[in-house]
């Protein structure tokens, strides 16, 4: 009879210990999970704001270029071409010339074009 009583007492102690361990685990993991969730939500919101702002800026720049294009298509097309070439080849220490070397402008001085554009 005493052995059975002791077994019941040990079982209750084990139950209480396991219950306390589970509560301690819950008290540890739930706040961490909530904090992680809040961090992920904040990161997602910041990313959304960044993407929306970038898209709005791109749309605004497109509208400006399109307005200029509507006013003078040839000049705008030439400007876009030169800006693109400058962006692609701007850091290269080379000069672009045509195959025969007979064109009116035998080279494209990208650095000078960039300096002139920035000065205006």
In the chain, domain spans:
1-71, 73-120
Neighbours of 96 (CB within 10 A): 13
The per-residue pLDDT for 100 is 67
For residue 104, the model assigns a pLDDT of 46
- Give yes or no for residue 105 having a pLDDT over 70: no
46 or 116, which is more confident: 46
Q: Using one digit for the tens of pLDDT, what is the confidence trace for 23-68?
A: 999 999 999 999 999 999 999 999 999 999 999 999 999 999 999 9
Q: How many CB atoms lie within 10 A of CB 110?
A: 21
pLDDT tens-digit profile of 87-101? Answer: 887 777 666 666 666
d(CA 118, CA 113): 9
């Amino acid at each position: 009879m005493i052995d059975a009583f002791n077994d019941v007492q040990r079982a209750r102690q084990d139950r209480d210990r396991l219950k306390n361990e589970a509560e301690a685990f819950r008290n540890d993991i739930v706040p961490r999970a909530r904090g992680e969730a809040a961090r992920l939500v904040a990161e997602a919101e910041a990313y959304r704001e960044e993407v929306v702002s970038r898209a709005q800026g791109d749309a605004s720049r497109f509208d400006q270029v399109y307005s200029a294009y509507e006013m003078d298509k040839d000049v705008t097309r030439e400007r876009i071409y030169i800006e693109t070439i400058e962006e692609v080849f701007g850091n290269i220490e080379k000069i672009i010339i045509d195959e025969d070397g007979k064109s009116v402008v035998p080279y494209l001085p990208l650095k000078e074009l960039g300096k002139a554009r920035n000065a205006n």
